[in-house]
Amino acid sequence: MTDPASTPVALITGASSGIGAAVAARFATEGTWRVVLNGRDHTRLDQVAAAIGGHPVPGDLSDRDGCRRLVEAAVGVSGRVDLLVAAAGIGWAGPFAEMPDAAIDEILAVDLAAVVHLVRLVLPQMMHRNTGHLVLVGSIAGSVGVREEAVYSAAKAALTTFADSLRYELMGSRVRISMVVPGAVKTPFFARRGSLYQRSHPRPVEPMRVADAVWDAVAHDRSEAFVPGWLWFPARLRGAAPSLFRHLAARFS
Protein backbone atom coordinates (compact mmCIF):
# COMPACT_ATOMS: atom_id res chain seq x y z
CA MET A 1 0.00 0.00 0.00
CA THR A 2 1.24 3.46 -0.91
CA ASP A 3 2.29 5.58 2.03
CA PRO A 4 0.03 8.69 2.00
CA ALA A 5 2.91 10.76 3.27
CA SER A 6 4.87 9.99 0.11
CA THR A 7 1.99 10.76 -2.27
CA PRO A 8 2.51 14.12 -3.99
CA VAL A 9 -0.02 16.86 -3.31
CA ALA A 10 -1.64 19.04 -5.97
CA LEU A 11 -3.31 22.32 -4.96
CA ILE A 12 -5.72 23.44 -7.69
CA THR A 13 -7.56 26.75 -7.68
CA GLY A 14 -10.74 27.51 -9.57
CA ALA A 15 -11.70 23.87 -9.05
CA SER A 16 -15.43 24.29 -8.49
CA SER A 17 -16.06 24.32 -12.26
CA GLY A 18 -14.52 24.63 -15.69
CA ILE A 19 -10.79 24.20 -16.22
CA GLY A 20 -9.96 23.84 -12.53
CA ALA A 21 -12.52 21.07 -12.01
CA ALA A 22 -11.24 19.24 -15.10
CA VAL A 23 -7.64 19.51 -13.91
CA ALA A 24 -8.61 18.20 -10.48
CA ALA A 25 -10.39 15.22 -12.04
CA ARG A 26 -7.44 14.52 -14.35
CA PHE A 27 -4.94 14.34 -11.51
CA ALA A 28 -7.27 12.45 -9.19
CA THR A 29 -7.97 9.72 -11.76
CA GLU A 30 -4.26 8.99 -12.07
CA GLY A 31 -4.34 7.68 -8.50
CA THR A 32 -0.86 8.99 -7.72
CA TRP A 33 -1.82 12.42 -6.39
CA ARG A 34 -3.66 13.81 -3.40
CA VAL A 35 -5.78 16.67 -4.68
CA VAL A 36 -6.66 19.78 -2.67
CA LEU A 37 -9.31 21.89 -4.38
CA ASN A 38 -10.16 25.55 -3.99
CA GLY A 39 -13.11 27.54 -5.27
CA ARG A 40 -15.55 30.21 -4.17
CA ASP A 41 -18.73 28.18 -4.68
CA HIS A 42 -18.90 25.91 -1.62
CA THR A 43 -21.66 23.66 -2.97
CA ARG A 44 -20.08 23.00 -6.34
CA LEU A 45 -16.64 22.57 -4.81
CA ASP A 46 -17.97 19.93 -2.41
CA GLN A 47 -19.62 18.13 -5.32
CA VAL A 48 -16.42 18.07 -7.36
CA ALA A 49 -14.38 16.94 -4.35
CA ALA A 50 -16.83 14.16 -3.54
CA ALA A 51 -16.81 12.93 -7.13
CA ILE A 52 -13.02 12.63 -7.35
CA GLY A 53 -12.05 11.98 -3.74
CA GLY A 54 -10.35 15.33 -3.28
CA HIS A 55 -10.15 17.63 -0.27
CA PRO A 56 -12.17 20.84 -0.66
CA VAL A 57 -10.85 24.10 0.80
CA PRO A 58 -13.36 26.81 -0.20
CA GLY A 59 -12.29 30.42 -0.09
CA ASP A 60 -12.03 33.74 -1.89
CA LEU A 61 -8.63 34.53 -3.38
CA SER A 62 -9.37 38.17 -4.11
CA ASP A 63 -7.37 39.28 -1.08
CA ARG A 64 -3.98 38.28 0.27
CA ASP A 65 -5.37 36.83 3.48
CA GLY A 66 -7.54 34.46 1.47
CA CYS A 67 -4.46 33.18 -0.34
CA ARG A 68 -2.63 32.69 2.93
CA ARG A 69 -5.54 30.80 4.50
CA LEU A 70 -5.75 28.51 1.48
CA VAL A 71 -2.08 27.55 1.55
CA GLU A 72 -2.16 27.08 5.32
CA ALA A 73 -5.17 24.79 4.96
CA ALA A 74 -3.53 22.81 2.15
CA VAL A 75 -0.32 22.37 4.13
CA GLY A 76 -2.39 21.43 7.18
CA VAL A 77 -4.06 18.65 5.22
CA SER A 78 -1.00 17.30 3.51
CA GLY A 79 2.12 18.75 5.10
CA ARG A 80 3.30 20.29 1.85
CA VAL A 81 2.34 21.35 -1.67
CA ASP A 82 4.15 19.60 -4.52
CA LEU A 83 2.15 21.15 -7.36
CA LEU A 84 0.23 24.40 -7.64
CA VAL A 85 -2.15 24.76 -10.57
CA ALA A 86 -3.41 28.35 -10.62
CA ALA A 87 -6.56 27.94 -12.71
CA ALA A 88 -8.91 30.42 -11.04
CA GLY A 89 -9.90 33.32 -13.24
CA ILE A 90 -12.65 35.82 -13.91
CA GLY A 91 -13.38 38.18 -16.77
CA TRP A 92 -15.37 41.19 -17.87
CA ALA A 93 -16.32 42.04 -21.45
CA GLY A 94 -17.11 45.47 -22.79
CA PRO A 95 -15.50 48.82 -23.67
CA PHE A 96 -12.77 49.70 -21.23
CA ALA A 97 -14.11 53.25 -20.85
CA GLU A 98 -17.31 51.76 -19.43
CA MET A 99 -15.66 49.22 -17.13
CA PRO A 100 -16.59 49.65 -13.44
CA ASP A 101 -13.74 50.30 -11.01
CA ALA A 102 -14.80 47.28 -8.95
CA ALA A 103 -14.49 44.97 -11.97
CA ILE A 104 -10.98 46.26 -12.70
CA ASP A 105 -9.89 45.64 -9.13
CA GLU A 106 -11.44 42.17 -8.97
CA ILE A 107 -9.87 40.93 -12.20
CA LEU A 108 -6.43 42.20 -11.22
CA ALA A 109 -6.86 40.67 -7.75
CA VAL A 110 -8.03 37.21 -8.84
CA ASP A 111 -6.29 36.74 -12.19
CA LEU A 112 -2.93 38.28 -11.29
CA ALA A 113 -2.32 39.25 -7.65
CA ALA A 114 -3.74 36.01 -6.23
CA VAL A 115 -1.46 33.94 -8.47
CA VAL A 116 1.59 35.95 -7.43
CA HIS A 117 0.72 35.62 -3.73
CA LEU A 118 0.02 31.89 -3.98
CA VAL A 119 3.33 31.27 -5.72
CA ARG A 120 5.12 33.36 -3.10
CA LEU A 121 3.52 31.24 -0.36
CA VAL A 122 4.28 27.79 -1.81
CA LEU A 123 7.64 28.46 -3.48
CA PRO A 124 9.89 28.64 -0.39
CA GLN A 125 9.01 25.12 0.77
CA MET A 126 9.45 23.81 -2.77
CA MET A 127 12.90 25.41 -2.95
CA HIS A 128 13.78 24.04 0.48
CA ARG A 129 12.92 20.51 -0.71
CA ASN A 130 14.38 21.25 -4.17
CA THR A 131 11.33 19.84 -5.90
CA GLY A 132 7.94 21.09 -7.02
CA HIS A 133 6.00 22.39 -9.98
CA LEU A 134 4.05 25.59 -10.63
CA VAL A 135 1.49 25.66 -13.44
CA LEU A 136 -0.06 29.00 -14.33
CA VAL A 137 -3.15 28.93 -16.54
CA GLY A 138 -3.05 31.94 -18.80
CA SER A 139 -5.02 32.80 -21.93
CA ILE A 140 -4.39 33.51 -25.58
CA ALA A 141 -5.85 36.93 -24.72
CA GLY A 142 -2.65 37.56 -22.78
CA SER A 143 -0.52 36.68 -25.80
CA VAL A 144 -2.29 38.72 -28.47
CA GLY A 145 -4.73 41.08 -26.73
CA VAL A 146 -8.48 40.87 -27.26
CA ARG A 147 -10.90 43.67 -28.06
CA GLU A 148 -13.14 44.67 -25.13
CA GLU A 149 -11.16 42.48 -22.73
CA ALA A 150 -8.36 44.93 -22.00
CA VAL A 151 -7.89 44.31 -18.28
CA TYR A 152 -8.29 40.54 -18.53
CA SER A 153 -5.75 40.48 -21.38
CA ALA A 154 -3.34 42.62 -19.37
CA ALA A 155 -3.59 40.36 -16.31
CA LYS A 156 -2.94 37.23 -18.35
CA ALA A 157 -0.05 38.86 -20.19
CA ALA A 158 1.51 39.72 -16.85
CA LEU A 159 1.32 36.07 -15.82
CA THR A 160 3.40 35.06 -18.83
CA THR A 161 6.12 37.56 -17.95
CA PHE A 162 5.94 36.54 -14.29
CA ALA A 163 6.46 32.90 -15.30
CA ASP A 164 9.43 33.79 -17.53
CA SER A 165 11.07 35.83 -14.79
CA LEU A 166 10.63 33.05 -12.22
CA ARG A 167 11.97 30.47 -14.65
CA TYR A 168 15.29 32.34 -14.77
CA GLU A 169 15.42 32.47 -10.97
CA LEU A 170 14.72 28.74 -10.67
CA MET A 171 17.38 27.62 -13.14
CA GLY A 172 19.65 25.11 -11.47
CA SER A 173 16.92 23.90 -9.13
CA ARG A 174 14.42 21.07 -9.52
CA VAL A 175 11.45 23.42 -9.12
CA ARG A 176 9.70 23.80 -12.45
CA ILE A 177 7.23 26.33 -13.84
CA SER A 178 4.85 25.87 -16.79
CA MET A 179 2.54 28.26 -18.61
CA VAL A 180 -0.59 26.70 -20.12
CA VAL A 181 -2.28 29.03 -22.61
CA PRO A 182 -5.80 28.06 -23.70
CA GLY A 183 -8.03 29.79 -26.18
CA ALA A 184 -11.80 29.73 -25.80
CA VAL A 185 -12.95 26.91 -23.51
CA LYS A 186 -16.46 25.58 -22.87
CA THR A 187 -16.87 26.78 -19.29
CA PRO A 188 -19.20 29.10 -17.33
CA PHE A 189 -16.52 31.81 -17.69
CA PHE A 190 -18.24 33.60 -20.56
CA ALA A 191 -21.67 33.69 -18.92
CA ARG A 192 -20.17 34.98 -15.68
CA ARG A 193 -18.26 37.77 -17.40
CA GLY A 194 -21.56 39.08 -18.79
CA SER A 195 -21.03 38.26 -22.46
CA LEU A 196 -21.40 34.88 -24.13
CA TYR A 197 -18.83 33.65 -26.63
CA GLN A 198 -20.19 34.46 -30.09
CA ARG A 199 -17.25 34.06 -32.45
CA SER A 200 -17.58 31.38 -35.13
CA HIS A 201 -13.84 30.72 -35.00
CA PRO A 202 -12.00 29.42 -33.11
CA ARG A 203 -14.55 27.09 -31.59
CA PRO A 204 -14.31 26.57 -27.82
CA VAL A 205 -12.57 23.39 -26.69
CA GLU A 206 -13.60 21.11 -23.85
CA PRO A 207 -12.03 21.80 -20.41
CA MET A 208 -10.50 18.33 -20.35
CA ARG A 209 -8.23 19.28 -23.27
CA VAL A 210 -6.73 21.97 -21.06
CA ALA A 211 -6.51 19.51 -18.17
CA ASP A 212 -4.63 17.08 -20.42
CA ALA A 213 -2.21 19.87 -21.36
CA VAL A 214 -1.62 20.62 -17.67
CA TRP A 215 -0.97 16.95 -16.97
CA ASP A 216 1.40 16.72 -19.93
CA ALA A 217 3.27 19.85 -18.83
CA VAL A 218 3.85 18.35 -15.38
CA ALA A 219 4.61 14.82 -16.59
CA HIS A 220 7.05 15.93 -19.29
CA ASP A 221 8.32 19.20 -17.79
CA ARG A 222 7.03 21.42 -20.57
CA SER A 223 7.55 25.14 -20.03
CA GLU A 224 4.68 26.20 -22.29
CA ALA A 225 1.60 24.65 -23.90
CA PHE A 226 -1.09 26.19 -26.11
CA VAL A 227 -4.58 24.68 -26.27
CA PRO A 228 -5.34 24.04 -29.08
CA GLY A 229 -1.76 23.76 -30.26
CA TRP A 230 -2.13 25.95 -33.35
CA LEU A 231 -2.58 29.02 -31.13
CA TRP A 232 1.19 29.19 -30.81
CA PHE A 233 1.27 30.70 -34.31
CA PRO A 234 -0.68 33.94 -33.63
CA ALA A 235 1.19 34.28 -30.35
CA ARG A 236 4.55 33.99 -32.12
CA LEU A 237 3.44 36.23 -34.98
CA ARG A 238 2.40 38.89 -32.47
CA GLY A 239 5.89 38.80 -30.98
CA ALA A 240 7.83 38.60 -34.25
CA ALA A 241 5.81 41.01 -36.38
CA PRO A 242 3.55 43.11 -34.15
CA SER A 243 2.58 45.64 -36.83
CA LEU A 244 1.56 42.91 -39.24
CA PHE A 245 -0.34 41.11 -36.53
CA ARG A 246 -2.25 44.24 -35.52
CA HIS A 247 -3.16 44.89 -39.13
CA LEU A 248 -4.52 41.36 -39.55
CA ALA A 249 -6.29 41.42 -36.19
CA ALA A 250 -7.98 44.72 -36.96
CA ARG A 251 -9.06 43.45 -40.38
CA PHE A 252 -10.39 40.06 -39.32
CA SER A 253 -11.14 40.72 -35.62
How does pLDDT run across 194-240, given as a tens digit for each residue? 666 666 666 888 999 999 999 999 999 999 999 998 888 877 877 77
Ranking 96-100, 136-140, 188-192 by mean pLDDT, the lowest is 188-192
pLDDT for residue 174: 97
What is the C-alpha to C-alpha distance for residues 58 and 55, in angstroms, rounded to an integer? 10
Q: What is the pLDDT of residues 25-41, one digit of tens each?
A: 999 998 789 999 999 99
Name 154's Cβ contacts closer than 8 Å, sequence gap at least 6. Answer: 142
pLDDT of residue 190: 67
Give the pLDDT of residue 187: 72
Q: Which residues of 151-171 are buried (b: 16+ CB within 10 A; e: fewer)?
A: bbbbbbbbbbebbeebbeebe
**pLDDT band, very low/low/confident/very high, at 251 (cuts 50, 70, 90):** low
Per-residue pLDDT at 51: 96
Q: How far apart are CA 64 and CA 100, in angstroms?
A: 22
Q: Is 152 a catalytic residue?
A: yes
pLDDT value of position 248: 64
Distance of alpha carbon 143 from alpha carbon 231, whole angstroms: 10
Residue 126 has pLDDT above 80, yes or no: yes
3-state secondary structure the chain: CCCHHHCCEEEECCCCCHHHHHHHHHHHHHCCCEEEECCCCHHHHHHHHHHHCCEECCCCCCCHHHHHHHHHHHHHHHCCCCEEEECCCCCCCCCHHHCCHHHHHHHHHHHHHHHHHHHHHHHHHHHHHCCEEEEEECCHHHHHCCCCCHHHHHHHHHHHHHHHHHHHHHCCCCEEEEEEEECCECCCHHHHHCCCCCCCCCCCECHHHHHHHHHHHHHCCCCEEEECHHHHHHHHHHHHCHHHHHHHHHHHC
Look at residue 246 and tell me whether its pLDDT is greater than 60: yes
Residues 64-79 have a mean pLDDT of 92
For position 1, what pLDDT does the model report?
41
Q: Of residues 186 and 160, which shows the higher confidence score?
A: 160
Tell me how crowded residue 180 is: count the other CB atoms within 10 A of its CB: 26
CATH code at 181? 3.40.50.720
Q: Residue 80 above 80 pLDDT?
A: yes
pLDDT for position 17: 93
Total tally of structural domains belonging to the chain? 1
pLDDT at position 178: 98
Q: What is this structure's pTM?
A: 0.91
Residue 87, domain extent = 4-252
Average pLDDT score, the chain: 90
> What confidence category does residue 4 fall into, taking pLDDT thresholds of 50, 70 and 90?
low
pLDDT confidence of residue 52: 96
Average pLDDT for 57-62: 94
- Rounded CA gap, 146 and 25, in Å? 30
Which whole number is the average pLDDT over 170-185?
A: 95
pLDDT band at 170 (very low <50, low <70, confident <90, very high): very high
Q: What is the pLDDT of residue 162?
A: 98
Most confident range (mean pLDDT) of 84-88, 92-96, 238-242 is: 84-88
Q: Which of the following is catalytic: 92, 152, 162, 245?
A: 152
Exposure string of 37-76, with b = 16+ CB inside 10 Å and e = fewer, is bbbbeeebbeebbeebebbbbbbbbbebebbebbbebbbe
